[in-house]
Chains A and B, each alone.
Chain A
Amino acid sequence: MKRIFVRLDHCTGCHTCELACAVEHSVSKELVAASMEADRPKKRLFVEYVPDQPVPIVCRHCEDAPCLNACISGALWRDDRGAVRRKEEKCIGCWTCIMVCPYGVIGRQERGGNWLAAKCDLCDERESPACVDSCPTNALVFSEADEFASTRRRQVEAALAPPGGR
Chain B
Amino acid sequence: MVHAHDLMAPGDRELLDKAHAEGLVTGRDRLAAMQPQCGFGELGTCCRMCYMGPCRIDPFGEGPQEGVCGAGPDTIVARNLLRECVGGAASHMGHARHVALLLKQVGEGKVKGYEIKGKAKLLSLAQGLGIATKGRNIKAVAVDVADVALNDFGRQDGEPMAWLKLRAPKKEFEMWKDLGILFSNPHNELEEAMHRTSMGNDADPVNLLLALLRMGLADGYAGLYMGTDLQDVLFGVPKPVQVEANMGVLKVDSVNLAVHGHNPLLSEKVLEWAGKMEGEAKAAGAKGVNVVGVCCTGNELTMRHGVPMAGHNLQSELILVTGAVDEMVVDIQCIWPHAAELAGCYHTAMVTTDPMVKIPGATHIEFHHDNADEKAQEIVRTAIEAYKRRDKARVNIPKYKSTVIAGLSVEAIIDVLKKVDAKDPLKPVIDNIVNGNILGAVGFVGCPSLKLRDTAMTERMTKVLLQNNVLVVTTGCTAHILGQAGFMNTEAAGKYCSDGLKAVLTAVGEAAGLGGALPPVWHMGSCLDNCRIADLLAALAAKLDIKISQLPVAGSAPELVQEKAISIGTFFLALGLTVHLAPAPRILGSPVVTKVLTQDLPSITGGRAYVETDPEKAALGLIEDIKSKRKLLGLSV
Contacts and interface: CB of A to CB of B under 8 A. Distances in A.
Interface of A: 10, 12-15, 47, 49, 51-52, 54, 136-138
B56 interface: yes
B280 interface: no
Contacts of A52: 1
Given A136-B56, A137-B62, A138-B63, A12 B39 contact: yes
B207 interface: no
Nearest to A7: B60
Interface string B38-74: 1110000000000000001011101110000000000
11 contacts: A13-B36, A13-B39, A14-B39, A14-B40, A15-B36, A49-B35, A51-B3, A51-B4, A136-B56, A137-B59, A137-B60
B36 A49 contact: yes
B36 A10 contact: no
B174 to A, nearest CB: 44
A138 B60 CA distance: 9
Contacts of A10: 60, 62
A8 to B, nearest CB: 12
B454 to A, nearest CB: 13
Given A136-B56, A136-B58, A54 B63 contact: no
A51 B58 contact: no
Given A14-B39, A14-B56, A137-B59, 11 more contacts: A12-B39, A13-B35, A13-B37, A13-B38, A14-B40, A15-B36, A51-B2, A137-B58, A137-B60, A138-B62, A138-B63
A54 B40 CA distance: 13
The binding surface of chain A is classed by DSSP as loop
A88 B40 CA distance: 37
A136 B59 CA distance: 10
A52 B35 CA distance: 10
A14 B38 CA distance: 4
Nearest to B56: A136
B contact residues, range: 10 to 19
* A-B interface, 6 closest residue pairs, ranked by CB to CB distance from nearest: A12-B39, A13-B36, A54-B36, A49-B35, A49-B36, A14-B38
Contacts of B36: 13, 15, 47, 49, 54
A10 B59 CA distance: 9
Nearest to A10: B60
A47 B38 CA distance: 11
Nearest to B36: A13
A15 B38 CA distance: 7
Contacts of B38: 12-15
A158 to B, nearest CB: 15
Contacts of A138: 60, 62-63
A14 B56 CA distance: 10
Given A13-B38, A49-B36, A54-B36, A137 B63 contact: yes
A47 B37 CA distance: 10
A19 B169 CA distance: 52
A136 B1 contact: no
A137 B60 CA distance: 7
A12 B2 contact: no
A15 B4 CA distance: 23
Nearest to B64: A136
Contacts of B59: 12, 137
A14 B37 CA distance: 7
Interface in B1-41: 1-4, 35-40
A51 B40 contact: no
Contacts of B58: 136-137
Among B4, B36, B38, B63, chain A packs the most CB atoms within 10 A around the CB of B36
Contacts of B60: 10, 137-138
B459 to A, nearest CB: 21
B63 A51 contact: no
Scoring A12, A49, A52, A137 by chain B CB atoms within 10 A of each residue's CB, the highest score goes to A12
A13 B39 CA distance: 6
Interface string B569-604: 000000000000000000000000000000000000
A101 B66 CA distance: 41
Contacts of B35: 13, 49, 54
Nearest to A139: B60
Contacts of A47: 36
Nearest to B3: A51
